[in-house]
Each structure stands twice: as structure tokens, then as C-alpha cells.
Amino acid sequence: MTPSATPHQTRLRRRLADDGGAGGVLALAVAAGVLAFSLLALTLFSVLPSKAAVHAAADSAAIAAAESASHSTAERSCAIAAEAASLNGTTLLRCDVSGSEATVAVGRQILTTTFSVTARAAVPRAKPTAANGAMPTDELVQLVYPGVRENPPVSLRSDVAAALVQLLEAYHAETGDYLPVDEGYRDLAEQQRVFDQYGWPRAAIPGTSNHGAGTAVDFVNPPVVRGSQPHGWLAANASQFGFEPLTDPDEPWHWDYTG
């Protein structure tokens, strides 16, 4: 048995992927519903050729075990796999659970031989989102471009850094000058320092700032103030590069990347 997904497996995976994160409990409930339906369908439609039925039973057992493994013990997950295998007229021969991945083998006596199939299933995990102000360094890119503060250096989330460099290059190509960049990503300690200095709403509550997500950039102020030439250029062009101004509170030097 290849690990490739059967249609119902694919559906289950997609549902779980879509409902990741906070919707996890709902996702599991939905998945359980899909699973119950697929087990029922397999039980009712026993017109499948014998070998195909064993393949389907293996898939069902693997999915059942993987789904269970995401919130239960390996022992319990294998008991559920055995139940799923039995419902589909097969016997569970092997069950290994590791994390939220399950590998099972099921078998059925066909004529004089036991036909067995191994299947593997995994419940995809939502990609962990970096905590605000505690982003892994490999998700950040240090900006090196004329006008960008060098010490301490300015970092941004990698896609935001790429977009900002394009913006900076466009500004330079049009004006011959360089936009001065003051700040990008801030870790929690730095956001706390800024918050202590300026207070809310001038500084976001630590843990909630777009600077902590690596998506906000502060230009040097002045010269990037309302009515200035560089601010006028940003107001006219920054949105083409995915940057929007912060207007509440009104901070002409602060731009957020919205893609």
C-alpha cells in the first residue's frame, strides 16, 4: 500500500488542514463525522472487490488511528484502529503510532491466504505561527540597503523584507535618494521598552504589535512626516508594494505590510 491518499483520506486531510489552530476541536468533530460515514459506507458497500476492500479497510484504520492519536494515547488509537479494521471485515495485524502519524496493517483471509495491506495516515498540523515578539530567527531577514539603520540592524519577516527592498529600490530609482529606515521587527523586550517609554496607543501593548510579527516598518521621523516629499511618495506608491499607512494612531512614519 502506498501512502498516497484515497479520496476520503484527502477530504479528511483537507478539512483538518482548513480547520487548524483554534478550530481544532471542531475539526476533530467534523473529522469524526467523516470517518464514521466512511466506515459506514465501507461496511454497507461490501461489493468492493476483496482486495480493494482490504486496501480501503487499511486506509480507514490508519485514518482512525491518526485522528485519535492527535488527542489520545497510542494504545487507545490502536484500539480504535482495530475497531475500524473489524468493522470492515479485516483484522488489525500491526499498529504503530508516532506523534499524529499512524501506520497500520490489516489482513483478511481470501481463499487460502491472508491478504494484508499496510497504510499510513497523518493528521496535518497547522504550521505553528511564530509568537509575537518571539519569531524564530530563520523567519527573519536582516535588511542591508543604503539608508537602512545598521546598528542595531533592521530585520523583517522574509517576504516583507523582500517587498520593502523593492519599494526602497523604486524610491531610489525615481528620486536618486534613499529612504531612511529606522525599525522593523521588535522582540518582546524591545516592544516593552518602547511601550514603557511612549505608552498606549503610541506604542502597542507588548505581544500585539505588528513590529512583533515582523510586518511593520518605521521610517526615520523626520524626514518621513506628513507633508514631506518622502511621505508623499510613500502615500502615492507604497500600496503597490503591499504597505499601508498607520492612521490610528496617526504615525506617518509607520507602515504595515498587508501583502
Residue 66 Cα to chain centre, angstroms: 20
- Does residue 120 interact with Zn ion by CB under 5 A? no
- Asked if 186 is part of the footprint of Zn ion (rule: CB under 5 A), the reply reads no
| Nearest to Zn ion of 19, 218 (CB atom) | 218
Provide the minimum distance between the beta carbon of 197 and Zn ion in the complex, in angstroms, as a whole number: 13
Which long-range contacts link 238-243 to residues 24+ away (Cβ below 8 Å)? 238/167, 241/163, 241/164, 241/166, 241/167, 241/170, 242/160, 242/163, 243/163, 243/164, 243/167, 243/217
Distance between CA 257 and CA 250 in Å, rounded?
Answer: 16
> Out of 13, 117, 254, 255, which residue is the one contacting Zn ion (CB under 5 A)?
254
Q: Name every residue whose Cβ is closer than 8 Å to that of residue 190 and which is 6 or more positions away in sequence.
A: 133
Our CB check for Zn ion shows the closer of 120 and 254 to be 254
- Residue 142 Cβ vs Zn ion, minimum distance, rounded to whole Å: 18
Find the shortest distance in angstroms from Cβ 216 to Zn ion.
5
Phi, psi (rounded to 5 degrees) for 72 = -145, 180
Nearer to Zn ion, 42 or 224 (CB): 224
Site residues (CB under 5 A) for Zn ion, limited to 214-233:
218
Closest residue to Zn ion, based on beta-carbon distance: 254
Which residues, numbered 187-216, are part of the site for Zn ion (CB under 5 A)? Answer: none
What is the SS3 assignment for 253? strand
Residues that bind Zn ion (CB under 5 A): 218, 254
